[in-house]
Amino acid sequence: MEGSKEATYYSFSTGPEVGYTGSPWDYKNYNGETHPEFDAFGNFNYGATGAALGIPHNLLLRGAGAAKWLKLHPDPFGKPLGGEPYGNQPEKQGMINLGIQYFKNHCF
């Protein structure tokens, strides 16, 4: 899988740069301060960017849940390979969906 399109997709959707505490994409934790008001934007941006990269909708949603499981913070919302919301909070999956739709509707 290394070097494949699937490896790139998996790396983006669950990788440390996407949403891990202190990572460049962790908008809700910036410069040592908590900013929960930016959490929704982070999920929206993840969806829009992933869609722009050609990552399938389903993989983006499951990747968000997988990232939680990999951080050992599983939610009571199922599992990444289960049914919706794939181990992530429904409202966060909703923002990811909005980001995907934003890209698909050419709103950039």
3-60: per-residue pLDDT in tens? 566 555 556 655 555 656 677 778 888 888 888 999 999 999 999 999 999 999 999 9
pLDDT at 40: 95
pLDDT at 83 over 80: yes
- CA–CA separation, 12 and 92 (whole Å): 17
Rounded Cα–Cα distance for residues 67 and 72 (Å): 9
On whether the pTM is more than 0.85, the answer is no
- pLDDT value for 9: 54
Position 107 scores a pLDDT of 87
What digits encode the pLDDT tens for the residues 90-103? 999 999 999 999 99
Every domain of the chain and the residues it spans? 5-104
Pairing relationship of beta strands 33-34 and 29-30 according to DSSP bridges: antiparallel
